[in-house]
Amino acid sequence: MQSGEILYFAHGPANSFRIIGDAAWVILLIYTAMACIRFGKKGNPRKAVIFGVTIFLCLGLGYLHGTLIDLGIVDPPYLGSFLFLPLSLVMSYSLAGDVVKASLLAEEVKAAESRWRNLLENVQLMVIGIGLDKNIFYVNPFFLSTTGYKKSAILNNPFNNLILEKDRELMTDRLEEIFGGKAAILPERRLPIVTKSGVQREILFSNVLISNGGSLAAGILGIGKDITDQIKAEAGRDLAIQDLEELKVKLENENISLREVIQMDHGFKEMIGKSNGLLYVLSKVQQVARTDSTVLILGETGTGKELVASAIHRESERSNKPFIRVNCAAIPAELVESELFGHEPGAFTNAVTLRRGKFELAEGGTIFLDEVSEMPLDVQAKLLTVLQEKELARVGGSRTIQVDARVISATNRDLGSEVAAGRFRADLYYRLNVYPITLPPLRDRREDIPLLVTHFISLFNKQFGKNTEEVSPIIMETLQNYDWPGNIRELRNVLERAVITNAGSSLHLPDGLSQYKNRNINDLAVDTEILSLAEVERQHILRTLQKTDWQISGIKGAATILKMNPSTLRSRIKKLGLKKP
């Protein structure tokens, strides 16, 4: 040494127990390697490599240092004895970092736990925790407010106390299977909960297993929504749907009252009836009324074609504009063009002033061409131009006039046959036949006759100051069994004459009615001879008298069968000249 002193180190044979220390070093190295590998697998491979290499270097150099000293092969520097210090520093740094991280993680866990607890405590859902012992270990305030229980009455008590008695055994078995790993938990399940007041509430639970950090479950956390009101609403909806279906069936089965109401609601007051044929016509009127499509009304004379045209106009967007009716059959052929399209002064003889045609008068509204099949061919060509171009020129004029009028036409002829015969233009027919409506004859809607009779009698009573109120069944049956070739117009005329000639309150049909072929209904007329309405009435009364052996009054009398007053029946027998053989 610098002071001149000499140090001597003892030198002797190797220790036989050194192998124990060597084995300890090897085990320490293996354990360190395994620890570094596990550390790297947990997501920090870079730090594991640095930490492992440092430990291996320190341990290896320290072991080498001691071995060389013991063997006396080399004499390493004295500082080599302090190689454990870097290891200690590295381990201390790592430990300090882990402690700091552990502290930060603990704070984060605490904050997360606080957030979740705050959420569970304030969420407007029912939260309940069930432990392995099937007891409740947690409920939130909303669960308590919904069920009415106190916290002390629920915590650490069996969950089965909250459910229906019939479900308890099944719930116990289910929980045992879930906690034992024999069954999977259902993500959602509807479960009835009994409140403190005994009311049953339907709760839809979303369930999750709570882990204890291992592979086994520590319990179940259920988050529930009260769907009792929703279920009641759905049940009420289903009941309402069922009621609607029943009402639908009931309404479909009702004929007279419903159909009359439909007619009144849609303003078809002048179109009396309840038959399927009439209702079908009214439905087609409703379909086409709100459009501007051209309508062709087909039907026999007296079926009410003008009433249908008027109804279409009244239900359309043009109802506040003019409705112009033109009877093409009533206008001379040479004046039809002037009537429809107007004329200029001097266009022909006696045309001294300007005349606006029906199309101009119907501007913005509807023009009804009745009996359009009677229109001359030359006028048909000009009408086609008006329909196509929406413009016209007056007779004798050259100026074009724009027109906006909806065209509704009607005829009692078969226009297809008229086209085939060359009396009607095919192109005009196709223009008019955009939306055809065919009116049924009165003989095809006999169930409407009683309503029509009542309507017309009431109308004529007011018009003529009469008090005809009673229509006997025999007369009503007679009217219903008649074919009415003139349709409603003929029925109206017959009833008008009957009310005029009637002196009492009971309706009697006048004599001398037009002769038409009768229809075989109810065996009133089995032959094909031509009978008047009075003759039909006479035969029906005669058959009834013969059936009752001419007994007029009494329970089995003819008056009871015919639903007539006996004195009225005697008067009719006398008037008809009927005598007992």
Note whether 80 and 24 are same-domain residues. yes
Side by side, the strands of the sheet bearing 126-131 are 136-139, 126-131, 217-226, 200-211, 188-194
Is residue 79 in a domain? yes
Name the percent of the chain in helix, strand, coil, to the closest 5.
Answer: 50, 15, 35
Contact 258, 396 (CB under 8 A): no
Note whether 431 and 458 are same-domain residues. no
Indicate the SS3 state at residue 520: coil
Backbone angles phi, psi at 407, to 5 degrees: -105, 125
State the chain's maximal CA–CA distance in angstroms.
183
Is residue 209 in a domain? yes
Note whether 417 and 305 are same-domain residues. yes
User: What CATH number did the domain enclosing 213 receive?
Assistant: 3.30.450.20
Last residue of a domain, one of 231, 256, 283: 231
Closest to 326 (Cα-Cα) out of 392, 410, 430: 410
CA dist., res. 167 & res. 187, Å (int): 19
| Residue 46 CA from chain centroid, whole number | 65
- The predicted structure's pLDDT at residue 430: 92
CA dist., res. 198 & res. 549, Å (int): 79
In Å, what is the CA distance from 437 to each residue of 278, 308, 444? 11, 9, 16
User: What CATH number did the domain enclosing 515 receive?
Assistant: 1.10.8.60
Is residue 241 in a domain? no
Note whether 224 and 315 are same-domain residues. no
Q: ∠333-335-339 over CA atoms, to 5°? A: 125
- The predicted structure's pLDDT at residue 244: 79
Is residue 320 in a domain? yes
Lookup: tokens for 293 = 């499509």
Note whether 201 and 85 are same-domain residues. no
- Pairing state between β 366-370 and 406-411: parallel
Side chain identity, residue 526 = V
Note whether 71 and 89 are same-domain residues. yes
- The predicted structure's pLDDT at residue 405: 92
Is residue 258 in a domain? no
Last residue of a domain, one of 412, 440, 468: 440
Q: ∠190-196-200 over CA atoms, to 5°? A: 35
Indicate the SS3 state at residue 516: strand
Backbone angles phi, psi at 208, to 5 degrees: -140, 150
Lookup: tokens for 335 = 């004046």
Note whether 163 and 63 are same-domain residues. no
E strands in 3-63: none
Note whether 177 and 205 are same-domain residues. yes
Is residue 379 in a domain? yes
Note whether 553 and 431 are same-domain residues. no
Closest to 220 (Cα-Cα) out of 128, 144, 336, 145: 128
CA dist., res. 325 & res. 302, Å (int): 16
User: What CATH number did the domain enclosing 416 receive?
Assistant: 3.40.50.300
Q: Note the pTM of the prediction, 2 decimals.
A: 0.47
Contacts of 442 (CB under 8 A, 6+ apart): 302, 303, 448, 449, 484, 487, 488, 491
Note whether 290 and 375 are same-domain residues. yes
CA dist., res. 255 & res. 261, Å (int): 10
Q: Which residue range forms the structural domain that includes residue 345?
A: 272-440
Is residue 285 in a domain? yes
Is residue 416 in a domain? yes
| Residue 205 CA from chain centroid, whole number | 31
How many structural domains is the chain composed of? 4
Note whether 384 and 317 are same-domain residues. yes
Note whether 26 and 145 are same-domain residues. no
CA dist., res. 481 & res. 518, Å (int): 7
Q: ∠22-94-103 over CA atoms, to 5°? A: 135
Q: What is the pLDDT along the chain (581 residues), one digit of tens a residue?
A: 566 676 655 555 556 666 776 677 677 777 777 777 776 776 667 777 777 777 777 666 666 666 666 666 666 555 555 555 565 566 656 656 666 676 777 778 777 777 777 777 887 888 888 988 889 988 888 888 888 888 888 888 898 888 888 888 888 888 888 888 788 887 788 888 888 888 888 888 888 888 765 556 778 888 888 888 888 888 888 788 877 777 776 665 554 444 444 444 444 566 788 888 888 898 899 899 999 999 999 999 989 899 999 999 989 999 899 999 999 888 887 788 888 888 888 767 666 678 888 988 899 999 999 999 988 888 898 899 899 988 988 888 778 889 999 999 999 998 888 999 899 999 999 999 999 999 999 999 899 999 999 889 988 998 888 888 888 888 888 888 888 988 999 999 999 988 888 877 888 877 644 343 343 334 433 333 455 666 777 788 888 888 888 888 877 788 878 777 777 788 788 877 787 77
Backbone angles phi, psi at 254, to 5 degrees: -85, 130
Last residue of a domain, one of 416, 440, 464: 440
Contacts of 39 (CB under 8 A, 6+ apart): 47, 48, 51
